[in-house]
């Protein structure tokens, strides 16, 4: 199987669609390989096979690297069976299919990175690469300095120990503590669970940076291409 790829993967890597959408289109008879209709999404072909989708040749996609300021409530999937809004509604004018690099839960806003460069995405998400992710947190009730120290030291979660985090307190406002927390992992709802473990609850959570890439002043719901210098810095860090 060396040098061979599943047909659905060929479509996805070319930026034509997601793998889920590729399976649907293949099964519907919309894809031809070397002049023959193929309906098996898992059938392997060489990367240089002549693939046509809806009668048009499949052309390799250029690499795209996009940062989105995701609002709360947008689901990080292509489609949602419950009809909730998805991040792809905010990326509607992009021609190539890009996939999210990691995820944010529905109640978390902020920086979400997209690309069709699978190797780059794997490096950013690899826990062994230690790419830091920074979040702005508002937690209630107020966290004492001892609780913040526990976050810095690392603590035990249900799915194993969390690595020590960098924590910068921004201040207290009534019963709420505001702080920045930087972690080098990406487990499900990790920041929320860490805050709960030290006796508080996250009220607002926003990711503000991944590695050297910062959200900055990008308005909520808007996206932009990464600048070459940003991409170079991320590659060096990842």
- Quickly list DSSP for 178-216: EEEEEES---TTHHHHHHHHTT-EEEEEEEEEETTEE-T
pLDDT for position 3: 65
First to last CA, the chain: 29
Burial of 140 (0-12, 13-18, 19+ CB in 10 A): middle
| Closest by Cα among 129, 116, 141 to 196 | 141
Instruction: Report whether 147 contacts 199 (CB < 8 A).
Output: yes
pTM: predicted TM-score of the whole model, two decimal places: 0.78
pLDDT for position 61: 67
Q: What stretches of 48-147 adopt beta strand conformation (E)? A: 51-53, 56-57, 65-70, 99-100, 109-115, 133-140
Q: Is 80 a catalytic residue?
A: no
Tokens of 227: 């600048």
pLDDT for position 139: 98
Q: Among the options 105, 107, 126, 159, which is catalytic?
A: 105
Inter-axis angle of helices 145-153 and 190-197, nearest 10: 130
pLDDT for position 181: 98
Inter-axis angle of helices 228-237 and 118-125, nearest 10: 50
Degrees to nearest 5, angle at CA 65 with 232 and 108 = 110
| Closest by Cα among 133, 138, 148 to 204 | 138
Read off the DSSP letter of residue 219.
Answer: P
Instruction: Report whether 104 contacts 112 (CB < 8 A).
Output: yes
pLDDT by 10-residue block (mean), the chain, 238 residues: 74 78 92 94 88 85 90 88 90 81 92 91 87 97 97 94 96 97 91 97 97 96 95 83
Side-chain-side CA neighbours of 208 within 13 Å: the count stands at: 12
pLDDT for position 1: 38
Instruction: Report whether 133 contacts 207 (CB < 8 A).
Output: yes
């Amino acid at each position: 199987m060396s040098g061979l790829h599943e047909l659905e993967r060929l479509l996805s890597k070319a930026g034509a669609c997601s793998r889920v959408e590729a399976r649907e289109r293949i099964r519907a008879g919309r894809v031809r390989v070397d002049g023959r209709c193929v309906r098996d999404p898992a059938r392997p072909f060489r990367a240089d096979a002549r693939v046509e989708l809806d009668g048009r040749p499949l052309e390799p996609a250029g690499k795209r690297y996009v940062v989105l300021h995701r609002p709360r409530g947008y689901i990080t999937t292509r489609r949602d069976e419950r009809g909730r809004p998805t991040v792809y509604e905010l990326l509607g004018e992009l021609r190539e299919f890009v996939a999210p690099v990691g995820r944010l839960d529905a109640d978390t806003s902020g920086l979400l990175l997209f690309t069709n460069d699978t190797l780059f995405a794997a490096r950013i998400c690899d826990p062994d690469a230690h790419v830091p992710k920074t979040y702005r947190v508002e937690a209630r009730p107020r966290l004492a300095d001892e609780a913040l120290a526990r976050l810095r030291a690392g603590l035990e979660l249900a799915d194993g120990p969390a690595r020590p985090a960098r924590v910068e307190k921004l201040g207290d406002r009534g019963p709420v503590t505001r702080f920045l927390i930087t972690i080098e992992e990406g487990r499900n709802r990790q920041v929320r669970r860490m805050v709960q473990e030290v006796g508080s609850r996250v009220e607002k959570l926003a990711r503000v940076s991944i590695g050297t890439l910062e959200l900055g002043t990008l308005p909520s719901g808007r996206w932009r291409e990464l600048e070459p210098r940003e991409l170079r810095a991320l590659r060096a860090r990842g």
